[in-house]
Copies of this chain bind each other. A is one copy, B any other.
């Protein structure tokens, strides 16, 4: 960590700050610049109270040097991790494809979708049973009944099951039916939930919060890894910016950036990332060309009748066409799309 002193800092301020640094167990190295003094604090930065050094008289700012996460870092594990959960493989040359409806609405809806996406080459079926909804007046999900339908879809198609868990109390129940526990963007910093998923043996799919920095996101992953669950997939799903023509802004540079910082696999959600059906095919292709280890796409038999997210769902036909073009891009990248 580098502690930058103000240009008005006195010799006494500098000494006192150095002492405070050493009280935290770090070594203080003073460097006298032409306009200011900086103090390099050498040692383990990831300790409580570091940031409060900014309150020392004469301190201007504190610049961290090492990443705040450990277990998720490439420093700890230089080679990339491949996530394998039944039919769903993300990494090591395979681009996993998770597809299905936003909400499970009925047996007919889910089963027809599972068959269709399987036929087009998807690796896993997704569907929401417990739904976190912005409005209390929106459809809240079929709950356990929905989970049973997901298990039925796996039974018939062999597809791995991905579904969201919204509360630590539900982790056990959801884990009974699902292969992958999705933590939604709104719950990225719900630490009790992260801890509960950290104790599960199911794969975790951790979506990025819409205003989370990369460090905050990887620290959320760190909670899961720290709990003992080593199978974590990251998912970029768009951030909140001033742009309003898309529901979120999908920053694909996240993919190569994150791949340098962490060994965990990263997939992209072009459905939430754009919020418009007509943008999903192009952004699915672009995600793969950017090097993503997978995509997660909303598919619905009748988007204009969907109880949620119809505006960003693909029909079966649109999904089939998207998969065809994505397969060509994956091959150009010398990767394979899906697991079959």
Interface residues of A (CB under 8 A from B): 2, 4, 7, 20, 29, 31-36, 38, 40, 42-44, 46-49, 51-56, 62-63, 65-66, 68-69, 75, 132-139, 166-169, 186-187, 189-192, 209-211, 213-214, 216, 219, 222-223, 226, 239-246, 249-253, 255-257, 260, 273-274, 276-279, 282-283, 285-291, 303-311, 313, 325, 328-329, 331-333
Contact = CB atoms under 8 A, between A and B. Distances in A.
Contacts of A333: 285, 325, 328-329
Nearest to A256: B282
A35 to B, nearest CB: 5
Contacts of A69: 135
A260 B277 CA distance: 13
Contact of A55 (B167, B216, B277, B332): B277
A275 to B, nearest CB: 9
B192 A166 contact: yes
A239 B243 contact: yes
A133 B191 contact: yes
Contacts of A32: 42
B192 A51 contact: no
Given A55-B304, A331-B332, 12 more contacts: A7-B75, A33-B42, A33-B66, A69-B135, A136-B222, A167-B192, A239-B249, A253-B279, A256-B279, A256-B282, A285-B333, A289-B290
16 contacts: A2-B63, A33-B66, A34-B42, A51-B310, A52-B304, A55-B277, A55-B310, A63-B63, A68-B135, A133-B191, A136-B223, A169-B192, A214-B245, A241-B242, A244-B244, A289-B290
A225 to B, nearest CB: 9
Contacts of A42: 31-34
A313 to B, nearest CB: 7
Residue in A132, A219, A251 with the greatest tally of chain B CB atoms within 10 Å: A251
A262 to B, nearest CB: 12
Given A253-B283, A257-B245, A33 B65 contact: yes
B29 A304 contact: no
Q: Which 6 pairs of residues, A with B, have the shortest CB-CB distance? A: A52-B310, A211-B211, A289-B289, A54-B311, A55-B303, A186-B189
A328 B124 CA distance: 28
Contacts of A257: 245-246, 276, 279
B329 A47 contact: no
A260 B285 contact: no
Nearest to A186: B189
Contacts of A328: 332-333
Contacts of A62: 311
A239 B211 CA distance: 9
A239 B192 CA distance: 24
A61 to B, nearest CB: 9
Residue in A36, A283, A313 with the greatest tally of chain B CB atoms within 10 Å: A283
Nearest to A252: B286
Contact of A35 (B66, B135, B308, B311): B66
Contact of A48 (B65, B190, B283, B308): B308
Given A279-B257, A306-B52, A243 B251 contact: yes
